[in-house]
Amino acid sequence: VNVTGCTGGIQFNVVPGVMDLAVSIRCPPNIAVVELREIIDSWIDGLCDVSWKTTVFSPPTPITAPDNPYIELLLETLKQELGVPALLTTFPGASDSRYLREAGMPAINMTPIVGCTPLAHDHDERVPVQPFLQSIDIYERVIDVFMGC
């Protein structure tokens, strides 16, 4: 849950009559949309004059199975390149891969930037030069392996 905007009030020392809060929620694939709505309703239940509505909605998409041969190949290649096992996670809505998965195609997102605080979509989004250059080498190796080189 990320608060991405807040508006309301007319000046500093006046309590606003109405306030709007914009919140970005990425629904994990293992939670049904109905369940997420129930969770949000439980958070605001009993609060005076609080309501919520969905303005943009992307339904959750299926994940690519961890035993998919491409994922297994990717994980093995990353382990060889990095010297440690890669972390397999799901980032709901994090990229356009959700549209591929929605169409029934397996999709893999990969961020081989090691040793950095993840700052994607942060107000100070950045990647240090050395890990970025290392990630290029890793991408090249993964492409070679996937192409059978």
**Tens of pLDDT along 70-85?**
888 888 988 888 888 8
**What proportion of the chain, given as a percentage, has pLDDT over 70?**
94
pTM: 0.61
Are 137 and 78 a contacting pair, CB within 8 Å? no
- Segment 87-109 shows an average pLDDT of 76
b/e per residue 10-26 (b: at least 16 CB within 10 A): eeeeeeeeeeeeeeeee
> In terms of DSSP H, where are the helices of 31-117?
33-44, 69-82, 97-102
